Amino acid sequence: MQAYSRRDVMRAMAMMSASIGAVEAGMLRPARAERDFIWASTGGAWGEHLNAIFVQQGNFAADAKVTPTPSFQLESIASSKILVANGNPPYDVSDHGQAEVTVLQKAGLLLPYKTALIPNYADVYDTAKMGDFYASTSFLLFGLAWNTKRIAKAPTSFDALLAPDLKGKVGVPAFGWYGMYWMHGLNKALGGNEDNMDPGMKFAAELVRKNSAVIVENADHARKLFQQEEIIMSPFWNGISAQLQKANVPVKFEAVPGTLAIGTGFVILKGTPYEEAANRLVNITLDPKLQVAFSSWNMYPPTNRRAVLPPELDNIRVTEAQLANTVQLDWTKVADRRAEYLKRWNEEVLG
C-alpha cells in the first residue's frame, strides 16, 4: 500500500473541498447531471411555441448554463412516467394543469419553488397558483361560449343552456374531455361541492335528455361545430373562442358563475440534478413580456399582473369580474372520485 504524506492528504482534501464548492456554485455538475436539461410538455404547436418563446427568446440556455432538450408527449403520459420513476425523474420540469399537478404533489414528487430565483412569481394572480409548487403561464378559462349572430343577449349563467329554443343546438363537453371539470364548476355554482355532485348531475342530465345537447368530444370538435353552427352555445375555452372571433366566426366567451380557471405551468420534479436551472425556467415562463408574446399566439391571457396586452389583444384580457365568477376545486377530491362520478355520468346523464 502506498504511503501518503500529511501534505498529500491536505492537498487532496483541499481539492475535494474546492470541487464541492464548485458544484454548489453551479460551476460543475454532479455526475448524474451529465445529461441535458429536459423539459416536458405536450407537443404540436403548443410545445413549439413554448420552445420558441420561453426557452429560445427567454435565453434560458445562456441564463441557466444548461443544454435544454424538449420531450413532447401528452401531459397524462408525462405524469404517468413521472409517477413510475418515483423520484428519479426522466425530466427536470414538466408542464401540467392542476389535476395532474395535484396527483404528483400528493405522491411527493414535486419540489417547492425557490422564490428568490423566481421574482416574477410575486406578480402572478393567486388564482393561477397552487401552494408553493405551481404557477400557470396562461389563464385557460372554461366558461360559456355563444354565437352572437344567433343569440342577441349575452348569457349570464349556465342556465342559458336549458333554454327551450336552443334545443338540439347546445353542446356539452364529454366527461373524458373537460366534462368532468365543467360539471364540478357548474355544480359549485349550483350550491354543491366535490362530495355532493347531485346538483351538477341533475343539470347535466336535463341538458342532455331534455334539451338534446350534442356531446362535444374535444376542442377541435367544438371548433367545427361552432363554425358550422351545429351548436350555438356550449361550455368552452376563452382562448379558442377568441381564435374563432379572429377568424370571423361570430363566437363570444362569457365567464359565467362556475367558470373554471384552469392553468398550465411547469412544476419542478423531485430528483432533478438541475434544481436551480429549473427555477430559472419557471421564472422565464412567468415573465410578463414573454407571456404577452405567448398570448399573441394562443389568445389566452397572461397570468402576470404586470403583463400589458397590445390594443388588438385587449379583448382577451382577464378581468377581476371574470375571476370573481371562477370557482376553485379541491383537485384531490376531483381525482379521487373520478371513477365514481364517471359511473354516475354514464347512468344518469347519458342513460
Q: Is 288 helix (H, G, I), strand (E, B) or coil?
A: helix
18 in a structural domain: no
> Same domain, yes or no, for 37 and 146?
no
> Same domain, yes or no, for 125 and 52?
yes
72 in a structural domain: yes
> Same domain, yes or no, for 283 and 188?
no
Positive or negative: CA dihedral 226, 231, 236, 241: positive
> Same domain, yes or no, for 78 and 180?
no
> Same domain, yes or no, for 81 and 206?
no
Helical axes 275-285 vs 288-298, angle rounded to 10°: 60
Distance from first CA to last CA of the chain, Å, rounded? Answer: 81
231 in a structural domain: yes
Below-70 pLDDT ranges, the chain: 1-33
- Tell me the pLDDT tens digit for each residue of 55-98: 999 999 999 999 999 999 988 899 999 999 999 999 999 999 99
> Same domain, yes or no, for 182 and 42?
no
Range of the domain at 292: 31-138+263-311
Q: Pinpoint the alpha helices (H) of 154-266.
A: 180-189, 198-209, 219-227, 238-246
> Same domain, yes or no, for 128 and 154?
no
7 in a structural domain: no
Query: What is residue 119's predicted lDDT score, i.e. its pLDDT?
Result: 98
In angstroms, the CA 263 to CA 294 distance is: 14
Helical axes 238-246 vs 219-227, angle rounded to 10°: 40
23 in a structural domain: no
> Same domain, yes or no, for 220 and 197?
yes
pTM of the model: 0.79
**φ and ψ of 94, to 5 deg:** -145, 140
Query: What is residue 22's predicted lDDT score, i.e. its pLDDT?
Result: 37
> Same domain, yes or no, for 94 and 218?
no
Q: How many domains does the chain have?
A: 2
CATH number at residue 211: 3.40.190.10
Beta carbons within 8 Å of 227's beta carbon, 6+ residues apart: 244, 249
230 in a structural domain: yes
2 in a structural domain: no
> Same domain, yes or no, for 36 and 111?
yes
> Same domain, yes or no, for 41 and 71?
yes
> Same domain, yes or no, for 43 and 130?
yes
In angstroms, the CA 128 to CA 134 distance is: 8
